[in-house]
Structure 1
């Protein structure tokens, strides 16, 4: 069995994530095979800025007609290539009821109240959304409308909204099966029909789901089946039957068995040396790997990188995460506060400040300042 060191795994991931900036065209970014998450303000845009060599402007993703923003993996908003959406939707059809329950974040007791299978709950909701969304319409209006169309057992009291409405996660998961996308850069969140939406896939596609697991392992491998299932939100037992073992190689890393796609084994064995500085935003795909202890072994530092509420961005330096960063906007100026866990060389600080300039440009700020702590 191949033995893989922590440093080797991190160097491989950095290369696969495109953090060496080998690709200029957004649509050619390999990471789009999995999607760019956009859960926080400008997350996907800043993830892009960390991965392409040229300047990134505020509309780099939102105005690109080749891309669409949809609720996909785990119900989180991701930018995907429009040409990838049919297979993506097929991969998001639950494999079975246990898988549907896991993705919906429901308990079996909640499901019993509906007197339906979990899969039927999902597609009943999708049909309601498809009926309601005929043009751009706010998420709140959609929720109100479909709650009236669906059985009362689909809804719960929401303390935040002060109203009873359909489950948030259920609505998010059902939307892509309704042929509906998110309007990028619209506040409040606004839904709209996909321009070329056809009939939704309603039967599971084990092959399509297996390909998502394999792509997770490509970008975040070596990793375990549980890591990959966590990315999709699937039940761990559900992915066992579709695990693409014939296309994977098992390795030994950090005291555990893990997997990587066989066609990426040579890249794992001989990854390029990670060099340079990047400012990764919160929820960047690199820091969203499920095995966070591999990225930051020090528990105290890990708590600074991944907070329960309000996580900062991560400072990536030559393959390691030696600090975090935050921003605060004031007028036309963006102020960066970069906190280093250990003293950094002046050259590293200069590179970090050059990256701050890229972030400011991407967010549309003509002026910026960097404070170190």
Structure 2
């Protein structure tokens, strides 16, 4: 655990927190600082780790398992799956940016209350494919009713929704991978944000859905709680940073921050990369030492996506090599001393996991040993036998 010193927040003295100290605190609160090994059963565990991250991106479930396991020593993919499907302490659903995440079940009321409060942007669909506000409400209600106390595949759910609403919901107007989806599918993620839907265990190779039975927290309370959680994890941050992470309108985020500042819930501090930014009121202690260590982060890891400003986390050549048009998460990344310093890829065949790491600069002997430990830990998480190659990664970014 890093040693902390308080940040003086009297603005007339001109005290400003540096990128390095802010980054060190984020790493510490993400369980990404310090050593890679400890006894099994760390205090934060699986759900505590996911809570600290503000959700584990799970479009690729193995990536979510790695995000969690690499932060919680002793944890394996089996532990994550047990928490998700047996203990139900985790929920797989649509989270920030409308993407699939693992979220703590005990926090689902906050998440659904906050996510359902984010103003919808303009529809990306052609005019003849869109739904009216009344149709949206009708579909979300139909989804909630159809999934109560049962688990359905998307095709079974589609039949239920169309039967409960009308043939218009089934019009094949949504472009899909190999054909067209029915109209109602455009609000699938919204149903998740409203608490009407979450994932259930697969039936064979098919995903299934159920109703989590969660009542969303009131919007004002939920959004305030989410801002506080975001700033604790990723602050100092601006409303624009929060909006980008959540895929929310900047104006809405700005007004939300202003309201919370007026209540004394958050406060401004000097922040070297962007002049000033926000933290939770009173949360002004930062580590005294710069980040140190080597870490591997998988596809769409929360730290790489949420930490801002992005050009400081991805300095120099990393901005070109490890981002896809400025979008974080498309490449698994190598962190050296808290900043992106390479990319990596894994390919599994049975128990063998071939790991290729491409550093963007030379690694000294100590850092190479630390990388080897990270790869060994990766194998423990994924319950396989890893083999490390340091060389060029020829695989492109994740779509």
Q: TM-score, normalised by structure 1?
A: 0.84
Q: Are 2:359 and 1:359 equivalent residues in the alignment?
A: no
What is the rounded CA distance, in whole Å, between the counterparts of 1:35 and 1:159 in structure 2?
27
1:7 aligns with 2:15: no
Query: Secondary structure of the residue that 1:42 maps to in structure 2?
Result: helix
Matches within 5 A, 1:310-349: 311-349=330-368
Q: Which residue of structure 2 aligns with residue 215 of structure 1?
A: 229
Pick aligned residue for 2:157 from 142, 148, 169: 142
1:290-309 matched pairs, under 5 angstroms: 291-298=309-316, 300-307=317-324
Asked if the contact 1:58–1:363 (Cα under 8 Å) also holds between the matched residues in 2, the reply is yes
Structure 2 CA distance for aligned equivalents of residues 109 and 332 of structure 1? 46
Question: Are the counterparts in 2 of residues 147 and 166 from structure 1 also a CA contact under 8 Å?
Answer: no
Change (3 A) 1:62 1:51: same
Aligned to 2:372, what secondary structure does the other structure show?
Answer: helix
- What is the CA-CA distance between 1:148 and the residue it aligns to? 5.7
SS at match of 1:368: strand
Secondary structure of 2:194's aligned partner: helix
Match for 1:163 among 159, 164, 180?
Answer: 180
Say which SS state the counterpart of residue 375 (structure 2) adopts: helix
Give SS of 1:191's match: strand
Contact in 1 for aligned 2:66/2:77 (Cα 8 Å): no
2-structure distance, mates of 1:231, 1:122? 25
**What SS does the corresponding residue of 1:62 show, helix, strand or coil?**
helix
Q: How far off is 1:214 after superposition?
A: 2.3
TM-score, normalization: structure 2?
0.79
Alignment of 1:96-245 (within 5 A): 99=119, 101-102=120-121, 106=123, 110=127, 114-116=131-133, 120=134, 122-134=136-148, 135-143=150-158, 145-147=160-162, 149-150=164-165, 152=168, 156-166=173-183, 168=185, 170-183=187-200, 187-194=205-212, 197=213, 200-201=215-216, 205-243=219-257, 244-245=260-261
1:47 is matched with which residue?
Answer: 67
Following TM superposition, by how much is the alpha carbon of 1:239 offset from its aligned partner in structure 2, in angstroms? 2.6
Gaps of 5+ in 2: 1-10, 35-41, 392-399
Deviations, residues 199-246 of structure 1 (Å, cap 9, x unaligned)? x44x96122112212222221222110111222222222233322222
TM-superposed CA distance for 1:280, in Å, is 0.6
Report the alpha carbon displacement of residue 147 of structure 1 after superposing the two structures with TM: 4.9
Q: How many residues align?
A: 355
Partner residue, 1:76: 99
Q: 1:157 to 1:89 in 2, by over 3 A?
A: closer
CA RMSD of superposed structures (Å):
2.9
Determine helix, strand or coil for the equivalent of 1:63: helix
Q: Distance in 2 between matches of 1:147 and 1:239?
A: 36
Cα offset, 1:341, TM superposition: 0.4
Task: Look up the SS of the partner of 2:145 in the other structure.
Answer: helix
Task: Name the CA shift for 1:258/1:44 in 2 (closer, same or farther; >3 Å).
Answer: same
Any conservation in 1 of the 2:378–2:386 contact (CA below 8 Å)?
A: no
Unaligned runs of 5+ in 1: none
> Which residue pairs with 2:395 in the alignment?
none
Structure 1 90/122 Cα, relative in aligned 2: closer, same or farther at 3 Å?
farther
State the distance in 1 between where 2:65 and 2:92 align: 12
